[in-house]
């Protein structure tokens, strides 16, 4: 049962106030937190369509004002739904530089590769100007250091992307920033090696400073299995996703 909206701030919907399972902050408390730019959708398909429209809008804005669009894609099935909607997008892929916000330490040919999944679903068809995979030869930390060097030389120093796309796991992770790992507190580096508690352990991931420096962040959350972590993230309980929900990121959700 959702908590009743707060009379003083009617705009604080159930999304902000949480549900009975999570003790909501008082309204003033929520007012102090950055309000999530939160858009709920009836279905994953509607979410993917809206996300593709936002992607194209950001791309055309960037190309018009800066001559190119720099974007970091994410792994996961939810972002993949959006990639399919971009196949016929009205945009100049010849002016797009593609990066990744996280990667498993496997080559693109591996079925678990985020770059491989995006290549097969989209990039092999639309042919962006350049794509910069996160995984190269060497240890995860060597890959992270090298990727940060590439970002600082190809994009800007410090690196500021036009758009960072993120998904969220059922445990509240974003990119490959998992609950309880020390890299959640990294405040200087832009890219780090991390360990995943499930699946392919060795990862390379953007840090929060890198994500939150972007001109635009779009978080896509879909699936009933994510509602609990999402609510907990809205309560500001320290889950990785909480840092994104209480920033200026756009959040599209369908449960
Ligand atoms: C990864 C992803 C990860 C993903 C979420 C959501 O490498 O695993 O980058 O952060 O975005 O786990 O994945 P789903 O959309 O498949 O739930």
Pairing between strand 130-131 and 37-40?
unpaired
Q: Residue 137: what pLDDT?
A: 86
The residue written with tokens 């635009």 in the block is 216
Mean pLDDT of the chain: 90
Residue with tokens 């995943």: 196
Measured CA angle at 158 (ends 162, 212), to 5 deg? 50
Strand partners, 193: 204
Q: What is residue 238's predicted lDDT score, i.e. its pLDDT?
A: 85
Mean pLDDT of 158-165: 98
Please write the tens of the pLDDT for every residue from 41-62: 999 999 999 999 999 999 999 9
DSSP states of 107-135: -TTSTT-HHHHHIIIIIHHH--SEE--S-
Please give the pLDDT value at position 1: 45
Contact 193, 144 (CB under 8 A): yes
pLDDT at 21 (0 to 100) = 35
Instruction: Say what the pTM is.
Output: 0.88
CA of 186 to the centre of ligand 1 (A): 21
Contact present, 70 and 62 (Cβ < 8 Å):
yes
Q: Is residue 245 scored above 70 in pLDDT?
A: yes
| Probe residue for ligand 1, chosen from 74, 219, 233, 255 as the CB with the greatest number of ligand atoms within 8 Å | 74
DSSP code for 181: -
Please state, in angstroms and rounded to a whole number, the distance separating the CA atoms of residues 254 and 175. 19
Residue nearest to atom 12 of ligand 1 (CA): 169
pLDDT, tens digit, 9 for 90 and up, residues 211-227 = 999 999 999 999 999 99
**Strand residues in 136-254 grouped as ranges (E):** 163-167, 191-195, 202-206, 217-222, 250-254
The model's pLDDT over 65-74, given as tens digits with 9 standing for 90+, comes to 999 999 999 9
* Ligand 1 mean position, distance from CA 6 (Å): 33
- CA–CA separation, 134 and 114 (whole Å): 9
CA of 244 to the centre of ligand 1 (A): 15
Is it the case that residue 78 has pLDDT exceeding 60?
yes
- What digits encode the pLDDT tens for the residues 11-43? 444 444 443 433 345 555 555 556 679 999 999
Pairing of strands 163-167, 191-195: unpaired
**Mean pLDDT score, 167-172:** 97
Judge if the beta carbon of residue 175 lies within 6 A of ligand 1: yes
> Between the CA atoms of 179, 185, 188 and 190, what dihedral angle is there, to the nearest 10 degrees?
10
Q: Quick one: which atom of ligand 1 is closest to the CA of 175?
A: 10
Q: Which atom of ligand 1 is nearest to the CA of 77?
A: 16
pLDDT of residue 236: 82
């Amino acid at each position: 049962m959702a908590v009743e909206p707060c009379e003083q701030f009617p705009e604080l919907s159930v999304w902000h106030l949480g549900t009975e399972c999570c003790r909501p902050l008082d309204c003033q408390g929520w007012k102090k937190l950055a309000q999530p730019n939160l858009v709920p959708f009836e279905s994953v398909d509607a979410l993917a369509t809206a996300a593709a429209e936002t992607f194209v809008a950001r791309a055309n804005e960037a190309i018009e004002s800066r001559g190119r669009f720099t974007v970091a894609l994410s792994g996961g099935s939810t972002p993949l739904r959006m990639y399919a909607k971009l196949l016929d997008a009205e945009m100049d892929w010849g002016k797009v530089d593609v990066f990744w916000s996280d990667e498993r330490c496997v080559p693109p040919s591996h079925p678990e590769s985020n770059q491989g999944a995006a290549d097969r679903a989209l990039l092999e068809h639309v042919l962006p100007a350049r794509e910069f995979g996160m995984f190269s030869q060497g240890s995860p930390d060597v890959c992270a250091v090298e990727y940060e060097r590439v970002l600082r030389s190809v994009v800007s120093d410090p690196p500021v992307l036009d758009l960072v796309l993120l998904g969220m796991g059922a445990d509240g992770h974003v990119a490959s920033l998992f609950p309880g790992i020390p890299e959640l507190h990294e405040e200087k580096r832009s890219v780090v090696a991390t360990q995943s508690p499930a699946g392919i352990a060795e990862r390379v991931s953007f840090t929060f400073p890198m994500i939150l420096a972007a001109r635009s962040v779009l978080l896509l959350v879909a699936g009933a299995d994510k509602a609990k972590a999402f609510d907990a993230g809205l309560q500001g309980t320290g889950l990785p996703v909480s840092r994104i929900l209480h920033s200026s990121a756009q959040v599209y959700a369908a449960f």
